[in-house]
Chain A
Amino acid sequence: MNPDRRFEELLTRLIDCGLPAAERDELAALCEGRPDRAAEVREELGFAEMLRQAIEAESSEAAFARRVETHLNRPPQELAPLLSKLLDEEMTEPDFADLEHLCITEPAAAHRLREELAWNDLLDQAASPHRSEEAFVDALVTRMWAETEEDDFLGKLESKIVEMHPAPNHREQAGRFLRWMPYAAAAAAVLAAAATFTLHRGADSDTVASLKQTAGEVRWGQGYAPDGSGRLRPGSYRLESGLVTVRFDSGTELALEAPAEFDVTGAAGANVLKGLAVARVSKAGEAFNLKSRGLNLGETGDTIGVDAREVGATEAVVFNGGAELRVPDFGTKRSLYEFEAVRAEQGRSKLVDIPYNPAPFTQAWAMVSGVQTKTGQVSIEMPGSPMKPTRSSENGRVQVYLENESLVLDQPLEVDPLEPGKITLAQQQHSPTLPRGELRSYLVQLWPQGASKEKMEASLTFSHEVVGVIYSSDRLATTDSLVGAQTGGLPQGGSDHRQRGLDLSGEAGDDEIVLSQDRRTVNVKLHSGGTDQMDQVRILVAVK
């Protein structure tokens, strides 16, 4: 087609109905080196915008005139019945028109309406626990945490709220959790033995799940506890203190933080009635049906959190994958994706979007993160957290990020040398190659904020076998995108990326990494610090 005709055709369509991206590019190409055509496009677009504004103003003025006319012709209304309807949320469009008319013609009516609405909100605040002062401040903190960078401020804010509101206390629980770690490890071993015993004697045919892991001082409500072997039948359970992970026979794991009440509805279903829970749903097993009070989280995939601590409201958070939410009483449906959260209020049909705030789930998440035990000052970071240095007040700890739940290698991957049971030295030249398969990737990091140098030791035992580690700086950088690492917080440019890995020359004061003979435990000694310097190790475990 003649370029001039084509230009005119594209311009006409742009003004009339818009152009798809490819044709916009074509139009731009036709304007290249042709200022006359570019000027014509500018002029036509300017004129079209003026026309749109003129039409809009006219229709708005006409609508306003119609509204005034309607008001003037309307018979007089009484405020009281309209007010009752408004307060009972039963207004219709004509009712709103009547109320507007009344407020325009009688200024006292507008004053009374504002007063009644304000008073009614105070009544709502007084009558509804979900609108209490604590709930409001708590939600505000969540929002500020999500919307501002003022972590330090919010840390203090949270501490203050915790002081004023001594009920479930995350910080104190975190401390208690760490203090109880050695006991938790012992309890886990006992439970593992119990589970083994159960398997040997033949699983009770009535039971559908077992306790996999515990932390803290676990106490169950009388008559609402698993049996002595740690197996659970369908029924109601009440966790009064501590943290537990329940592994369902379908493969799904559900971590619960006390105080919690839940129903086991089968080998692939649970209903969280109270408390905090994180479900990691097995992809291999039967689809899991998770409910919490009036909210049905569908046959969820992947990892999802449920916060049912507040009376009358449940919050759902997706950490990984997605979920199809339903409120069966009202027929409400909603798809929820990674790092999204909603709130469902009892007796209400709407699911309200809320900011993604994983902080309350920290302990429950650690239970299903795949890190079975940890010693030393170690924190398991929440999903979606970018790699960043610890804050000055939190220096002196090793951070662990679960980078990728399911890393499918479609080609072999070269990793760094690491022989079980031996201290690894940089001189070891042979780099093993991992075959294709499904892996899970963790990043272990020591990155203190500020210029102070730190030395830390940590031991991590994983629920799956470690098949490879990456501790050389270049290899860490080249595999970041493969595992989907959240590298936004890393220093950009310069030589900083070359300082991410471990220094394994074997001299005193260097880093050290040792893998246990059973390939489940990794011990690291890390020396890090100074401006923008960090130690990082990527650990790959075999999921299958």
Chain B
Amino acid sequence: MSEPFTPEAYIAYVREHHAGLRAFVRSLGVDPMWVDDVAQEAFVTAYDRLEFFDSSRDFGAWVRGIARNLVINERRKDARRKRILSDNLTDILVATSGETGLPEDIETAEENQEKLIALKHCLQEMPEKSREIVKARYEQGKAAPDIALALGMKSDAIRKTLERLRLALRKCMERQLEAHATS
């Protein structure tokens, strides 16, 4: 990335890195409701500090570092304003996520985009009933008891089903990625 950031380039970088950044923010124990908020704040902060960005470095790693600092700062806020689930849990997750916010297991932006595409494909392929449960949980943000009530099932059964569906989706995604890599 030797060229300086133009507005168009900045959009392109936001588009390229948003999926991975949001996943990274969530991995630090940020409340799911606030994940996008923190990620956006990181992009806004990054934009404000573009003059300090070394364009020979990886943009994704740099923005993750900013996001990591934002999450650390959440610890200092009063309880009502915190965007993390638990102070102690976030302490542990931040401490084990590496100094630069780039642990060894962080995928490249491209890998995250591929995962996202594969997941969307897997969701399309799911049986209708299963998709309905996943949509209720993720798209509508319903809790297991509410989904159970709507579908006439027991809460525990919904929890088990969600666990099973997540596993199935993960396996499907990995199959897709494997097939893509070998094709």
Does A287 touch B at the CB level, under 8 Å?
A: no
Q: How many A-B contacts at CB < 8 Å in the complex?
A: 154
For B121, give the chain A residue with the smallest CB separation: A126
Q: How far is the CB of A124 from chain B (nearest CB, A)?
A: 5
Q: Chain A, 141-157, contact with B by CB distance < 8 Å: what is the 0/1 string?
A: 00110011010010011
Within 8 A of A (CB), among B109-149: 112, 115-116, 119-120, 123, 134-144, 146
Please tell me if the beta carbons of A121 and B32 are within 8 angstroms of each other in the complex.
Answer: yes
Does A127 touch B at the CB level, under 8 Å?
A: yes
Please tell me if the beta carbons of B166 and A87 are within 8 angstroms of each other in the complex.
Answer: yes
Q: Chain A, 341-358, contact with B by CB distance < 8 Å: what is the 0/1 string?
A: 000011110101000000
Does B15 touch A at the CB level, under 8 Å?
A: yes
Does A13 touch B at the CB level, under 8 Å?
A: no
What are the residues of chain A within 8 A of B24 when measuring CB–CB?
A: 118
The CA-CA distance from A117 to B92 in the complex, in Å, is: 14
The CA-CA distance from A126 to B122 in the complex, in Å, is: 10
Contact of A115 among B8, B27, B86, B137 (CB under 8 A): B27
Please tell me if the beta carbons of A161 and B11 are within 8 angstroms of each other in the complex.
Answer: yes
Please tell me if the beta carbons of A113 and B22 are within 8 angstroms of each other in the complex.
Answer: no
Does B162 touch A at the CB level, under 8 Å?
A: yes
Please tell me if the beta carbons of B159 and A125 are within 8 angstroms of each other in the complex.
Answer: no
Contact of A122 among B32, B89, B116, B162 (CB under 8 A): B116
Please tell me if the beta carbons of B7 and A153 are within 8 angstroms of each other in the complex.
Answer: yes
What are the residues of chain B within 8 A of A111 when measuring CB–CB?
A: 96, 105
Does B71 touch A at the CB level, under 8 Å?
A: no
Please tell me if the beta carbons of A110 and B96 are within 8 angstroms of each other in the complex.
Answer: yes
Contact of A127 among B18, B44, B135, B142 (CB under 8 A): B135
Q: Chain B, 48-60, contact with A by CB distance < 8 Å: what is the 0/1 string?
A: 1000000000000
Helix, strand, loop or mixed for chain A's interface? helix
Contact of A312 among B15, B123, B140 (CB under 8 A): B140
Also in contact, A120 and B7, with CB within 8 A (given A88-B162, A103-B92, A114-B96): no
Please tell me if the beta carbons of B105 and A144 are within 8 angstroms of each other in the complex.
Answer: no
The CA-CA distance from A327 to B28 in the complex, in Å, is: 30
Does A123 touch B at the CB level, under 8 Å?
A: yes
Contact of B44 among A147, A346, A352 (CB under 8 A): A147
Number of chain B residues close to chain A: CB under 8 A: 61
Please tell me if the beta carbons of A123 and B169 are within 8 angstroms of each other in the complex.
Answer: yes
Among A131-139, A175-183, A239-247, A422-430, the stretch that binds chain B is: A131-139
Please tell me if the beta carbons of A121 and B22 are within 8 angstroms of each other in the complex.
Answer: yes
What are the residues of chain A within 8 A of B119 when measuring CB–CB?
A: 122-123, 126-127
Q: Chain B, 26-43, contact with A by CB distance < 8 Å: what is the 0/1 string?
A: 111100110111011001
Please tell me if the beta carbons of B140 and A144 are within 8 angstroms of each other in the complex.
Answer: no
Does A197 touch B at the CB level, under 8 Å?
A: no
What are the residues of chain A within 8 A of B14 when measuring CB–CB?
A: 137, 140
Does A104 touch B at the CB level, under 8 Å?
A: yes
For A152, give the chain B residue with the smallest CB separation: B7
Q: How far is the CB of A498 from chain B (nearest CB, A)?
A: 38
Contact of A126 among B39, B123, B146 (CB under 8 A): B123
Please tell me if the beta carbons of B23 and A118 are within 8 angstroms of each other in the complex.
Answer: yes
Does B88 touch A at the CB level, under 8 Å?
A: yes
Does A410 touch B at the CB level, under 8 Å?
A: no
What are the residues of chain A within 8 A of B97 when measuring CB–CB?
A: 114
Please tell me if the beta carbons of A143 and B40 are within 8 angstroms of each other in the complex.
Answer: yes
Please tell me if the beta carbons of A117 and B141 are within 8 angstroms of each other in the complex.
Answer: no
Does A160 touch B at the CB level, under 8 Å?
A: yes
Does A89 touch B at the CB level, under 8 Å?
A: yes
Does B47 touch A at the CB level, under 8 Å?
A: yes
Please tell me if the beta carbons of B7 and A160 are within 8 angstroms of each other in the complex.
Answer: yes
Does B163 touch A at the CB level, under 8 Å?
A: yes
| A-B contacts besides A148-B47, A347-B141, 19 pairs, CB < 8 Å | A96-B86, A103-B92, A110-B92, A115-B105, A117-B29, A121-B27, A121-B35, A125-B19, A127-B119, A128-B138, A133-B19, A136-B18, A136-B36, A139-B36, A140-B44, A150-B47, A312-B139, A346-B140, A347-B136
7 contacts between A and B (CB under 8 A): A67-B88, A113-B93, A118-B26, A125-B19, A136-B22, A137-B11, A348-B140
